[in-house]
Every structure is written in C-alpha cells, then in structure tokens.
C-alpha cells in the first residue's frame, strides 16, 4: 500500500467513536436524568407554601368524634388526668368508645370544654395531643346542644379568636348522659327489711349485654340507682334506718359519703312516697379505689318489711340511657 493510501485510511478512522466511550456516555446521561427528576420532585415540595386547612380541620374532627383518646398506661381515662400530668396523655378524644363513632362521652365533653382553671388544658396540650404536626396551627373548637335543651350551653370554645379565613368541619354527634338503673316492684319471694344491691364490676365491664353505646360504665359515669314501688308487708310509710357500702368484703368508712335522694347518706330520707335514689359519683368510686374488678354491695335497711328479692344484681335492673344531639365545629388556620 502506498503512503497516499495509508494517509487516506487514517483520515477516515478519525471520525469514529469507541464502544467504551458510547457505553460510558449513555450511563452518565441516564444517571443525570434520574438525578434531575428526583431533584425536581424535592423542589416542588419545598416550594409549596399552601396548607390544606380544611384537611387539617377534618382530621382533627375525626379524632375528636371517632377516637376515645388514651393515656400512656391506658388507665385512668384521659379526662381523669389533671393539668399537671398531661405528659401521661397520648391523645385527646371525645368518643365513648372506639366502637361508637359520633357517640360522645359526657365526662370527656365536659372536661375538654371545661371553664374551671384547675381542669382546663393549655393550648400546647391541645396542639400536641389533638391537632398534631410540627406546624404551629391555631384553632377554635366549639360545641352546642342542637335541641336547645341547655345541657351544654355553658361549654366554652377551646382555642383562639377566629379570623376571616380558616379551614372548617362540622360534625353532628350525640352525647351520652350518665345512665341510671331502675329497680321497680321487684319480685321478692320473701319479705325483708334489708335490701342489698350487688355491683360486680368484673361482671359489668366484662359481660357484653348490649351494643357499646348502651353498656353501663360506673367508673366513668358513676352509679345512679332508683328504687320505687315498694311492696310493703305492713301498709304505711317507710324510712331508711341505715345504709352500708361494702367493697370486696370490707365496709367503707363513713367519712367517705355518697348521696341518697340528693343528700349525704348520713341524712336518711323518709321514703313514704315509695322511691329512693342512691348515687355514687365517679370521684367517690375513685376515692374508695374501685376498679373494673371490684365488687361493691349497697345494703339498705328499712324500718318496715319490703318484699324485694335480695341480693339484687345491678345488671338485672332496667338500664336507662339518654343521648343529647349536639354539633361540633372545628376551625383551623
């Protein structure tokens, strides 16, 4: 081959790219496109300044009406924790139970909206245990009785003064009032001047008798028993001569009092109208260290013989529940 032919061959090869170069360049371009795509997605998130306040209000409303809330140790319920130990509260919620959405607990509602400075929580508590998130949301939560029956007219709104623009949600709910048990004209085979009511907490809490919204809850709502229509062996009026309360086989000292017909049990009423109401409120049950496994007995002594079966099981009484329709509004900005 001549020198001219060799020069011509080298000139033709100078415009070709090697396979290694093409492979490396292709990998580089693929990696570059991947990085640009990922970076653009991150920048979109960082550049967005709009917040869906309606979404935050909706989420807050759902937590309030569908969650019962809970504490670190599960017991006691969050509404029984004072404002000095809010670190024990994990979440605030107003539902009676996780199985009863939109059915709210009376005690939780009253505690959440309490005007008592010894019971109310701080704005930070509401933010961290209800609204959640790192963003410093401001909010206003209110509730009122739909039927205007005045049960909840005195509930104060929680939060700040409402501006012109905010996220909003409204939920229609029912608030369960403390229930009560009716013992009326029980069938007693033998007459006695002593009437015993057995409150077996283990049986009450661990026997499913009805749907959750009708299940008795003495520790949270107290015990309210109405006894009426006594069948007297000897016609005439009757009086209560004494009342004893036993817990787990031990009598409760008299300095811890409960109510009979609205008064301290030390003032025994004339029940000539054949009706008596005995109330043990939640604070009283807490004071005597009752829990869901305790067994209580109320022993009522009369000055006349009444035809009542004794002991009478609390769960055998007719359980009455009242539900108040209400509206909950959540505003977030």
∠ Cα 320 80 178 (to 5°): 10
Tokens of 25: 């360049």
The Cα–Cα gap between 306 and 196 comes to 12
The stretch 172-191 carries a mean pLDDT of 75
pLDDT digits (tens, 9 = 90+) for 224-237: 888 877 666 666 66
| DSSP letter for each residue of 200-248 | EHHHHHHS--S-GGGS--HHHH-EEEEEE---BSS-S--BEEEEEEEET
Name the most confidently modeled range: 8-17, 54-63, 175-184, 275-284.
54-63
Task: Check residues 79 and 208 and name the one with the higher pLDDT.
Answer: 79
Q: Compute the mean pLDDT over every residue in the chain, rounded to the nearest whole number.
A: 79
Looking at the predicted structure, is the pLDDT value of residue 85 above 60?
yes
Band (pLDDT 50/70/90 cuts) for residue 16 is low
The Cα–Cα gap between 87 and 185 comes to 49
Band (pLDDT 50/70/90 cuts) for residue 2 is very low
Please state whether the predicted TM-score (pTM) of the whole model is above 0.85.
no
Decide if 169 contacts 264 (C-beta within 8 A): no
Tokens of 53: 């306040």
- Among the listed residues 163, 155, 283, 307, the one whose alpha carbon sits nearest the alpha carbon of residue 223: 283
CB 108: neighbour CB atoms within 10 A?
23
- CATH 2.60.40 matches 180-320: yes
Band (pLDDT 50/70/90 cuts) for residue 316 is confident
- DSSP letter, residue 270: B
> 94: cis peptide before it, omega within 30°?
no
Judged on CB neighbours under 10 Å (0-12, 13-18, 19+), 200 is: middle
pLDDT digits (tens, 9 = 90+) for 141-167: 999 888 876 677 678 888 889 999 999
Tokens of 306: 């009444």
Q: Where are the domains of the chain?
A: 53-177+323-332, 180-320
- Three-class SS state of 172: strand
Task: Check residues 173 and 128 and name the one with the higher pLDDT.
Answer: 173
- Helical (H) or strand (E) element with 286: helix 282-287
| DSSP letter for each residue of 114-136 | ---TTTPPPHHHHIIIII-SSS-
């Amino acid at each position: 081959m001549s020198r001219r032919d060799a020069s011509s061959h080298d000139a033709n090869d100078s415009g070709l790219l090697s396979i290694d170069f093409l492979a490396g360049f292709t990998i580089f371009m693929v990696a570059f496109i991947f990085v640009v795509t990922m970076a653009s997605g991150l920048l979109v998130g960082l550049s967005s300044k709009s917040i869906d306040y309606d979404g935050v209000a909706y989420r807050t409303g759902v937590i309030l009406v569908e969650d019962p809330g809970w504490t670190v140790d599960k017991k006691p319920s969050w509404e029984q924790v004072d404002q000095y130990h809010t670190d024990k509260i994990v979440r605030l919620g107003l539902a009676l139970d996780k199985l009863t959405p939109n059915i709210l607990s009376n005690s939780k509602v009253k505690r959440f909206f309490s005007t008592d400075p010894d019971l109310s929580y701080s704005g930070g508590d509401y933010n961290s245990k209800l609204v959640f998130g790192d963003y410093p949301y401001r909010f206003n939560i209110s509730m009122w009785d739909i039927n205007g029956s005045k049960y909840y007219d005195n509930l104060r709104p929680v939060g700040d003064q409402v501006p012109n623009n905010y996220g909003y949600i409204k939920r229609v709910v029912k608030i369960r009032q403390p229930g009560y048990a009716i013992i009326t004209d029980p069938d007693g085979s033998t007459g006695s001047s002593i009437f015993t009511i057995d409150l077996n907490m283990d049986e009450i809490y661990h026997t499913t008798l009805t749907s959750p919204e009708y299940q008795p809850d003495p520790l949270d709502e107290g015990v309210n028993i109405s006894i009426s229509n006594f069948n007297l062996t000897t016609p005439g009026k009757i009086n209560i001569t004494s009342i004893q309360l036993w817990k787990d086989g031990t009598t409760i000292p008299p300095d811890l009092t409960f109510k009979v017909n609205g008064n301290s049990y030390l003032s025994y009423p004339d029940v000539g109208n054949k009706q008596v109401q005995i109330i043990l409120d939640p604070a009283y049950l807490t004071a005597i260290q009752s829990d869901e496994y305790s067994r209580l007995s109320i022993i009522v002594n009369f000055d006349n013989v009444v035809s009542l079966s004794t002991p009478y099981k609390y769960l055998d009484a007719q359980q009455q529940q009242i539900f108040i329709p209400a509206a909950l509004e959540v505003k977030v900005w």
